[in-house]
Structure 1
Amino acid sequence: MRSLRADTPFQTSKSWTDDLPVCKQSGVGSATNQIYREDGNRQEAHSFEDRTFHYKFDDNSSIYALFDGSEGSKAVDFCCQRMPAELVFGQLKDKKTDEEIKEVLRQAFVSVEKGYMDSMYDLLAYLAGLQEEIQGLSEYEAYQKKPEVVDQIKKTNLCLSASATAAVALIHNNKLYVANVGSCRVLLCQTDSNGVLKVVQLSTDHVLQNEDEVLRLSQLGININNLRKCTLLGNQRSTRCFGNYLVKGGYKEFEDLKNALQEPIISEPDIIVAGPIDEACQFLILMSSGFYQSIEEATGTDLVNKCIAQYVVEQFREQNTLPSVAQAVVDKVVRLHHDWFMSKPSNNPVIREDITLLVRNFNFPMLNAKKSPSVGINSIVISNNTTPICTPQGTIMNTDIRNTLCSTAATSTTSTLRNDNDMDDVTEIDAYVDFTDFINGFENDKKKGNLPACLNF
């Protein structure tokens, strides 16, 4: 039961969140899913199911979120509307300690989940009415006698299965907090004491490959050996999410979940305090699982986080806005994944899922930007010291990204990065604007006493 209006990435309906101030130091890139066809024509498996927001409430608080939907956009649309409401209306006011702010985030997740589940009541009543129409009939008889009712039951169950994984990053009083459920990922790129760019994953992947999640599920009574073989938990890939009433309310109906002592798929977030936003923090990345999984699939790398950081660094050097940085990285990943598919000998169909990337810049310079959103006066150079960073081709390139203080005597900023060996070769750039007429006019008005009071010096 998909709705074209609700599922398309470019919605035109008015929302209360449209009036919230967008953070200008962030940008988003995205690409809809694609079924690869032999003839090369584009075909989508389903409508776009990712959602994001990036709001700056005031000088003390800003929030960034990414929601990755499944089985339609019902859950992601609800979360994208409800989550800001749980944080923007004074909930953070007077909250100063880390524990207080973590509790605000936790309560926001609890409220979003409860609100979404409460919104299912009408759909559940509709489902009960449909099931009453085929009561007493076997499955075969129902198909034969009332196929339209059976079809509506399937569509309703699909709608009840709608879910959303989420990653939320909150900056409050210049400190970063991250909360997530599911497989959306958050990375912080920061420099260490030697100026080397490091990538830190701040979120937890709530999937069946996570041993902590397998242990949690086994403690509920689910067979641990079966868990290690599963790719799905009921009908759900992630072990935590918003929504999916069908598996949360009816987990006893699923063979692999029926022995659980309580609901195995939960919406309880992992929340961490990442620390203060200081000069070492370069940029923050939020991404959908389809984004990093496409890179893993296309390159075969086990250093996907480093790959992603390298892709973003490359586009910071080339682009002049943050949205163009994010979109250029997404476009690169789309091309990589398509090229990988074209090189495969297999004729099996392949689907690339929706991919979304949100970039929040702190101190990383955009050398081509007319007015950089970077904080401070950091510049970046490449030195001869080495640390491995994965390249777009999946190989290892030795680079070391260092912060160096820009000289106030410098006459220009280059649009490309310099090697350390070239730093002494500073050349002046001829002026490309002639201010002669302005200077002459200024001097004439000064002699005549015609300058405004604010310029009379």
Structure 2
Amino acid sequence: MNSLLIHFVFSFVFRYVNKQTNKQEAHPYEDFSFHVKVEHDKSRDTYLYGVFDGDEGSQAANFALQRIAAEILLDNQLLDATTDEEVKEKLRQAFLAVENSYWDSVGDKLAERTSVQYEIPDDLTSYEAYQKYPHLVDKLNSLNTELSSGTTAVVALIHNGKLYVANVGDSRALLCKTDDNGVLKVIQLSVDHDLRNEDELLRMYKLGLNVDEIRKRSRIGNQETTRCIGNYLVKGGYKDFEDLAAACGEPVIAEPEVHGGIPIDEASSFLLLMSDGLYKSLQEATGCVESVNKEIAQIAVEQFRIQSTLTGVAQGVVDKIVRIHHDVFMSGTAAIPSGKRDDMTLLVRNFNYPMPNALNSPTNPHVRFNPVVETAPPPPINYGSSNNEDNESEMVTNDDIDDGRRDTQDTSTTDSSDVYPEENVLKRNERIKPYVDFAEFYENFEKAKSNNTLPPSLMPQE
């Protein structure tokens, strides 16, 4: 049997109260990310990256974070895959398996919800139901809040020297490549599953929905994206929404768009994975919707030229976008309500782009940035060792910096009360290196072994 060495790095964000203002964010941070390296041999190492942006809580995002890497990597199907289609099918099945596992994990809540609904007569209006059965209505609302947790997901896989990308929702993957003339091009490798996507509108139209009405409301049920993992209310419970009740099937799905494989070659410069909070904050501040990918790539190029680590590059990109957003809000030149912005997560993977201030940096002084933006399928992914930071991926979130008006809520639900003095920006947060502690697992393993209750599949091989 071939032995595998797997390195998992999960990125969790720790929040702190500002000592001067005693202020906290209005909700827990809902973005998560990971990078994984699987060592087969030097010619066949596999790399996996993921970014998840939770909605209505972090439950679904946290669940997907912990399950999807195992679904993709911890069996022989990926190793046995010999064609692009086989690899893409593995990614597709992984997303669907995570979705099904999530429903299993909340099965008791679903059963309780059905029981509570059964106790409330169908012929009552919402007002009448609350007047007669306030405790049941409160319980139902509480269950609906828990079951509405969902998440976007963008996953990038490097396998056998090729890049594959799968996504649901509006988190993005951008690949920057240089052409024969040294001009840098930006290629979006993910698909935005939202109400601006004509293919998604057509899919819902075929389900019998009035897409004009849905587009006017800018939401499908209780969320903005048309695909996600989790959120039972717009899936099994979609008929409770008046504008979705006519659909002949679930309007929001967990089926990912999968692309690949793209060969990773010398033209591949770097990869960016991000939650929508990053690019939408820049869009809101600049009004540039069509060119926002190019603007983000250009900011990244600037940071590559001045930073010495990928951590610095990612930090610099997020920092600059946050400050642009803050400055525009303070100037009053754009309609940014209360300076609000969503959580931000950025993961950077460098392939061949020069970092002049880094040790052993690839050198290519002739690379130029050109405002050429292309939209296409999948991105590349890679995870280097800690001894080679040029090629290592780094994740940065807006929890590490501050624009003076902290707010992680959606613009529709948060006010501007969470304000922090600019001079305390760097004092408020401390970064804690992410890690996974398996001590408890090993302790329980030894207990089960001594009690002869260890599953046969985990028994040591003679």
**TM-score scaled by length of structure 2:** 0.71
Deviation at 1:221, TM superposition (A): 0.8
**1:187 partner letter:** L
Deviation at 1:44, TM superposition (A): 2.6
Q: Check 1:369–1:42 CA distance in 2 against 1; reply closer, same or farther (3 A cut).
A: farther
* Counterpart selection for 1:270 from 243, 257, 261: 257
- Residue 189 of structure 1 corresponds to 176
2:308 matches 1:320: yes
Q: Check 1:242–1:190 CA distance in 2 against 1; reply closer, same or farther (3 A cut).
A: same
Hey, what's the Cα distance between the residues in 2 that align with 1:46 and 1:320? 33
- Residue 31 of structure 2 corresponds to 50
How far does the alpha carbon of each residue in 1:191-230 deviate from its partner, in whole angstroms, 9 at most, with x for none?
0111100000111111100111111111111123223323
Hey, what's the Cα distance between the residues in 1 that align with 2:214 and 2:129? 34
2:45 matches 1:64: no
Hey, what's the Cα distance between the residues in 2 that align with 1:313 and 1:30? 26
* Counterpart selection for 1:281 from 250, 268, 284: 268
- Residue 160 of structure 2 corresponds to 173
Deviation at 1:246, TM superposition (A): 1.3
Which SS does the other structure have where 1:249 is aligned? coil
| % same residue | 54
Deviation at 1:141, TM superposition (A): 5.4
Matches within 5 A, 1:144-183: 144=131, 147-183=134-170
How far does the alpha carbon of each residue in 1:216-271 deviate from its partner, in whole angstroms, 9 at most, with x for none?
11111112322332300111210111111111012122111111111111111111
How far does the alpha carbon of each residue in 1:266-309 deviate from its partner, in whole angstroms, 9 at most, with x for none?
11111111511000000011111111000000111131001110
* Counterpart selection for 1:261 from 248, 267, 273: 248
* Counterpart selection for 1:370 from 346, 352, 359: 359
- Residue 245 of structure 1 corresponds to 232
Gaps of 5+ in 2: 16-20, 374-462
Instruction: Give the structure with higher Rg (CA).
Output: 1
Hey, what's the Cα distance between the residues in 2 that align with 1:389 and 1:202? 15
- Residue 109 of structure 1 corresponds to 95
* Counterpart selection for 2:370 from 372, 387, 397: 387
- Residue 298 of structure 2 corresponds to 310
- Residue 123 of structure 1 corresponds to 109
Paired residues of 1:109 and 1:269 also in contact (CA < 8 A): yes
Gaps of 5+ in 1: 1-18, 33-39, 391-457
* Counterpart selection for 1:84 from 49, 53, 69: 69
Q: Check 1:135–1:225 CA distance in 2 against 1; reply closer, same or farther (3 A cut).
A: closer
- Residue 401 of structure 1 corresponds to none
Hey, what's the Cα distance between the residues in 1 that align with 2:339 and 2:240? 30
Hey, what's the Cα distance between the residues in 2 that align with 1:61 and 1:68? 24
Hey, what's the Cα distance between the residues in 2 that align with 1:188 and 1:165? 19
**TM-score scaled by length of structure 1:** 0.72
- Residue 325 of structure 2 corresponds to 337
- Residue 97 of structure 1 corresponds to 83
Hey, what's the Cα distance between the residues in 2 that align with 1:219 and 1:200? 30
**1:361 partner letter:** N
Deviation at 1:366, TM superposition (A): 1.8
- Residue 15 of structure 1 corresponds to none
- Residue 424 of structure 2 corresponds to none
Q: Check 1:111–1:368 CA distance in 2 against 1; reply closer, same or farther (3 A cut).
A: same
Hey, what's the Cα distance between the residues in 2 that align with 1:29 and 1:320? 24
Deviation at 1:43, TM superposition (A): 5.5
Paired residues of 2:182 and 2:367 also in contact (CA < 8 A): no
Paired residues of 1:28 and 1:356 also in contact (CA < 8 A): no
Paired residues of 1:29 and 1:357 also in contact (CA < 8 A): no
Paired residues of 1:28 and 1:358 also in contact (CA < 8 A): no
Paired residues of 2:276 and 2:344 also in contact (CA < 8 A): yes
Q: Check 1:233–1:173 CA distance in 2 against 1; reply closer, same or farther (3 A cut).
A: same
Q: Check 1:347–1:176 CA distance in 2 against 1; reply closer, same or farther (3 A cut).
A: closer
Hey, what's the Cα distance between the residues in 1 that align with 2:132 and 2:261? 59
Which SS does the other structure have where 1:381 is aligned? coil
Q: Check 1:378–1:28 CA distance in 2 against 1; reply closer, same or farther (3 A cut).
A: farther
Paired residues of 1:165 and 1:183 also in contact (CA < 8 A): yes
Paired residues of 1:29 and 1:323 also in contact (CA < 8 A): no
Which SS does the other structure have where 1:65 is aligned? strand
Aligned residue pairs total 357
* Counterpart selection for 1:220 from 207, 223, 230: 207
Hey, what's the Cα distance between the residues in 1 that align with 2:327 and 2:23? 14
Paired residues of 2:209 and 2:247 also in contact (CA < 8 A): yes
Hey, what's the Cα distance between the residues in 2 that align with 1:169 and 1:230? 32
Which runs of 4 or more aligned residues in structure 1 lie more than 6 Å from their structure 2 counterparts after TM superposition? 27-32
Which SS does the other structure have where 1:236 is aligned? coil
Which SS does the other structure have where 1:296 is aligned? helix
RMSD across aligned positions (CA): 2.8
